[in-house]
Amino acid sequence: MAELDTSGGGKHKGGKIRSKKASTRIDLTAMVDLAFLLITFFIMTTTLAKPKAMDMVMPDKSKKDVQLPVPESRTMTVLLGSKNKMEWYIGAPGKSAPTVDNFGKDGIRKTLIEQNKKIEETHQGPDNYMIVLVKPSDKSTYKDFVNMLDEINIAGIKSMGVVDILPIEVDLLKKDGLY
């Protein structure tokens, strides 16, 4: 059985008969049972995966006069549509045809990094970073929105904003069957 053996053990030389010591062996079975019962209880009732906090800053609506003019050529607009897809274009809406993209490593993340690089190369510093505008449509899901913010985070985009979608952009999504 489960025992804790702390007695000296071994035979003594000389063959003297000693008085028998009280055994120091303890039965640990019940203690182990109890420990595992408690472990099971704690595993069942607690959460180890703590939720994570994504910081979100929205543009202040009350201050309309402090908006800086942004060059069109550095602005990438991402329209979030239905079916977990989005489309993006650089510059003003309607001028260049939007490209439909997916989420994931080879989708929007690659696009963001490539476009950012391209814009940094073609523009003069120090303000030569890309500005990303995220425009979620009414048909996009909250999950897509969080995914998009996350991709922007991963790609290391310096400047981004969440803006309301324009009717002309809804039409673009409709044309590609994403609304």
Partner 1 sequence: MDMTAMCDVAFLLLTFFILTAKLRTEDPLHVDIPASTVSQVVPDDNLSTLTVGQGKIFFGIEGTDIRKALLEEMGKQYKIPFSAEEEQRFSVIPTFGVSMNQLKQYISLDEEQRKTFPQAGIQADSTATNELATWIYQARLVTRNLKNQELRVAIKGNAKDEYPAYKKVVDVLQRQGVNKFILITSLKGK
Residues in contact with partner 1 by CB under 8 A are 1-5, 28-29, 31-32, 35-36, 38-39, 42-43, 45-62, 80, 136-147, 149-150, 153-154
**Residue 123 Cβ, how far from partner 1 at the closest point, in Å?**
28
Smallest distance, partner 1 to C-beta of residue 14, A: 30
Of 143, 145, 147, 151, the closest CA to residue 165 belongs to: 145
Tokens of 104: 């994931």
- Quote the least distance from Cβ 19 to partner 1, whole Å: 27
Which residue number, 79 or 90, has a Cβ lying nearer to partner 1?
Answer: 79
DSSP single-letter state for residue 73: G
CB 125, min distance to partner 1, A: 29
AA identity, residue 142: Y
In the complex with partner 1, the residue whose CB is nearer, 123 or 139, is 139
Rounded (5°) CA angle 140-141-143: 135
Q: Find out whether 136 and 160 touch, Cβ atoms under 8 Å.
A: no
